[in-house]
Structure 1
Amino acid sequence: MNYTTDTPAAHRPLRIALMGSRGIPATYSGFETFYEQLAVRLAARGHAVTVYNRRHHFKTHAPEYKGVRIVTLPSIPSKHLDTLTHSFLSMLHALWSGNDVFYLVIVGNSPLVWLAHLLGKKVILNVDGADFARDKWTGFAKRYLQWTERIAARSADVVIADSTVIERRYRELFGRDTLYIPYGANPQPRGERHYDSDVLARFGLTSGDYILFVSRMTPENRAHVLIEAHRRSGSRRKLVLVGDAPYVDDYKREVQAACAASDNCIMTGYLFGDDYRQISSHCSYYVLPAGIDGTRPVLLDQMAFGNCVVVRDTPANMEVIGDAGLSFSDADDVDSLAAVIRRLDADQTEVETMRGRALARVAELYSWDRITDQYEALFRSMQPGA
């Protein structure tokens, strides 16, 4: 699709509201990283960008971050109500703040599109993956998310799909055309990395001698599969699990017990900033055992570090890695992943080959500047008077 326009409105700064995530600076998951990277770049291009932060998620509440206006609002901090209550308040605030563009993430927020339409505003909705399939959702919550997919397909003015897999899903199930814009990443060649962190020493790690997992510690991300595959592989390398998550205490205890039963498994909890960059830059390779289809921002991030990556062979994962990574079977995940671990532990040449391919693929297809160009053109096409 071509969103360029020659009207006078095409050249004035936009007022852009980004809603639905926990907020910035990014301290949790993919949508937060996406908003931070996009918002800061748009602000640097002269646009007035507002990101809505959840009050309980941040210890301090600064009104600005790298040129981006921050509006901090409350929510009901529970598993089922946190996102929707905060997004509702954010939409109300954004609608009465003179914004030109309303960008909303998470399919469960789709009923809020109706609120914007009451005031004649258009909404862009990023639906992410098949959210209802996440193991943390059961009963009514799962049914609600399935219902909101239909609402998104029928009501959002533009539906963003982050992978062609999600693009096909909405076309085949709901007859809805979506706009494919993937997540981005910042390629970081090894010679350009200088991080102020002692994270390797803190956790007793040796550069190049550990396998890395980075993700939220939720059931659908399958950390337990990696722990068992690592055990069966007989790998001498340490397994390092980076991440945490609220509202899934039972699963976290299960993962902690499995990790503790191993002699060479480490759980670090959350790591951010230079700690995260340092631990990512020095792993032997990165494994993504997650089972939910859709582009995973952390996968792009790890490829941008020039890491060899290993993924479950879901269509979206295979779309992202192309020939720049390895995969294991979804149908036989533990044993097939164990085989890949043994293979890479025995062949450093393959690891190095995949590192180079990963960095090149991100630079060619997924740079944040390229993604920002696409969003800026879309946003201009939707402003009043365009």
Structure 2
Amino acid sequence: MKIAILGTRGIPANYGGFEIFAEQCAVRLALRGHEVTVYGRSHYVPGSLRTYRDVRLVVLPTLRWKYTDTVVHTFLSVLHALPQRYDVLLICNAANSLFALFPRIFRVPVAVNVDGIERRRKKWNWLGRAYYAISERLSLWFPDAIVTDAQVIERYYRENYGARSFFIPYGTVTEKPATTETLERLGLSPGGYFLYVSRLEPENNAHLVIQAFERVRTGKRLVVVGDAPYATRYIRQLKQTRDPRILLPGAIYGPGYRQLQAHAFCYIHATEVGGSHPALIEAMGQGNLIVANGTPENAEVLSNTGVLYRVNDVEDLARCLQDAEDHPQVYATLRQAALHRAQACYSWDKVVSEYEELLSGLVARRNTRSVRSATLLSSSDDRRNPPARSHRQI
């Protein structure tokens, strides 16, 4: 198949979950013999980079503003994609559902991964929330298929809209990194720190994690990894903590990020909005002890392989962290259980196989319709223009 992935910042991944998904999915599909293109943004992917691990890259500009960055780039990407004769498009982010209309008009199959219920994010003003609410509804009409990465979100679409979606979760790798150079650079020791990873935006609750950790009696450190392009004021507030045990090194990607995940004493997951969060699944893949915000999405992913605290409750989070510090042997079995669940449910190879099956099914359905339409047209022409009868010679 000739496949295009749109709606992310691009690859190689150096930002968030959609970018990691695009890289893992594109590279694995290319290894299986498909011709894959990933569209990226010019301020994120170097313009000189044309291919990455046998994946074709198309780098386009956008309007760099919180409310236009994604949609302007995806609009331009769709316009570029239409004449390229792709077999199928995979668009990420519910905000881009509107643009699925154009490939549909040109009979190009398209699937949209809607992520979570984005209009609930605190970072959006009323206009942003309204746009996401409209986009949520457009996702019911324009794409050929909706993809949800959590059963909670799949159920939301079914119960609120009567819409069928395809549940395909996020994936992870379970191999341990060979070195600890990032820990050494940050002055950390294996097992000597609590880890929090996320985009540093209010609904991801880094401020609550810091407040809770400040109450924990421990000699270990808290490492808050992440950044966000449009949350300067919020990040500045986080850095005002006076606890010397708390380290905010900014965003760390690739091998360095995996080293931090692999050697943490405990991973803290505090997000409250979204589907299945990449960092949570990746922490499971490294066999971490996980303490997570008790949302339905997080409970679904963990499935009793971690500790849940009451939603956004600082006191309960502090209690869970203190308990993990005081009684680590009690939670040892959870580490192994999390790893086993990640291996069984969140393997990237399994995830990509499910996407491959979905996309090939959309292409097959398009081709079947084309054949049926051609047959009907042919039959209609036959009725309108019957073949001339031969005249027998007498």
Instruction: Give TM class, smaller chain.
Output: over 0.9
> Does structure 2 conserve the Cα–Cα contact (< 8 Å) formed by 1:55 and 1:61?
no
Which digits, 9 at most, give the CA deviation of each residue in 1:326-365, with x for residues without a partner? 11001x6100100100110012213422211111100011
Determine the structure 1 residue equivalent to 2:376: none
Work out whether 1:367 is the aligned partner of 2:347: yes
Q: Give the SS at the match of 2:156.
A: helix
Q: Of residues 150, 173, 176 in structure 1, which corresponds to 2:163?
A: 176
Once the two structures are overlaid, the 10-residue window that deviates more, 19-28 or 147-156, is 147-156
The residue aligned with 2:181 is 198
Q: Offset of 1:171 from its aligned partner?
A: 1.1
Q: Which amino acid aligns with 1:367?
A: S
- The question of whether the paired residues in 2 share the 8 Å contact of 1:239 and 1:264 is answered with yes
Is the CA contact (8 Å cut-off) linking 2:118 and 2:274 kept in structure 1?
Answer: no
| 2:224 counterpart (223, 237, 241) | 241
* SS of match in other structure, 2:43: helix
Larger RCO (CA under 8 A, 6+ residues apart): 1
Q: Which has the larger radius of gyration?
A: 2
Structure 1 pair 60/155, CA: closer, same or farther in 2 (3 Å)? Answer: closer
SS in 1 for 2:174: coil
- 29, 41, 49: which is aligned to 2:28? 41
Using the alignment, how far apart are the partners of 2:66 and 2:114 within structure 1?
19
Is there any run of 5+ residues in structure 2 with no aligned partner, and where? 369-394
Residue 338 of structure 2: which of 346, 353, 358 is its match?
358
SS in 1 for 2:316: helix
Rounded to whole Å, the distance in 1 between the matches of 2:199 and 2:48 is 24
In the alignment, structure 1 residue 317 sits paired with structure 2 residue 298 = yes
Contact 1:23 1:52 in 2 (8 A): yes
Unaligned runs of at least 5 residues, structure 1: 1-13
Contact 2:207 2:238 in 1 (8 A): yes
Identify the range of structure 1 (112-121 vs 312-321) with the bigger mean alpha-carbon deviation: 112-121
* Higher deviation after alignment, 296-305 or 201-210: 201-210
TM-score, normalisation: structure 1: 0.92
Q: 367, 370, 381: which is aligned to 1:385?
A: 367
Residues 173-204 of structure 1 show CA distances to partners (whole Å, capped at 9, x for unaligned) of 1121111111111122x5xx313x52222221
Q: Could you tell me which amino acid in structure 1 is paired with residue 215 of structure 2?
A: R
Find the counterpart in structure 2 of residue 279 from structure 1. Answer: 260
Cα distance in 2 for partners of 1:276, 1:25 equals 14
Alpha-carbon displacement from aligned partner over 1:51-85 (angstroms, at most 9, x marks no partner): 00100113454111111101111111111111001
How far 1:233 moved relative to its partner?
2.3
Between the two proteins, what is the percent identity of the paired residues? 38
Letter in 2 for 1:214: V
TM-score by length of 2: 0.90
- For 2:324, the aligned partner's letter is L
Indicate conservation of the 8 Å contact 2:4/2:88, yes or no.
yes
Q: How does 1:105-184 map to 2 (within 5 A)?
A: 105-184=92-171
Contact 1:73 1:89 in 2 (8 A): yes
Contact 1:293–1:315 (CA under 8 A) maintained in structure 2: no
Counterparts of 1:215-226 in structure 2 under 5 Å? 215-226=198-209
Q: Is 1:285–1:351's contact at 8 Å kept on the other side of the alignment?
A: no
- For 2:332 and 2:37, the matched residues in 1 are separated by 41
- AA partner of residue 109 (structure 1): N
Cα distance in 2, alignment partners of residues 255 and 59 from structure 1: 31
- Tell me the equivalent position of 2:318: 338
Query: Are positions 1:211 and 2:194 aligned together?
Result: yes
1:120-169, CA deviations, whole angstroms, 9 ceiling, x for partnerless residues? 22210010001111111012111111111011122221000111110111
Confirm or deny: 8 A CA contact 2:196 2:224 kept in the other structure. Answer: yes
Equivalent residue number for residue 229 of structure 1: 212
Instruction: Indicate the RMSD between aligned Cα atoms, in angstroms.
Output: 1.3
SS at 1:176's partner residue?
A: coil
Contact 2:203 2:273 in 1 (8 A): yes
Q: Report Cα offsets for 1:244-283 as digits up to 9, x if no partner.
A: 010111111111113xx11210001011222111121111
Q: How many residues align?
A: 366
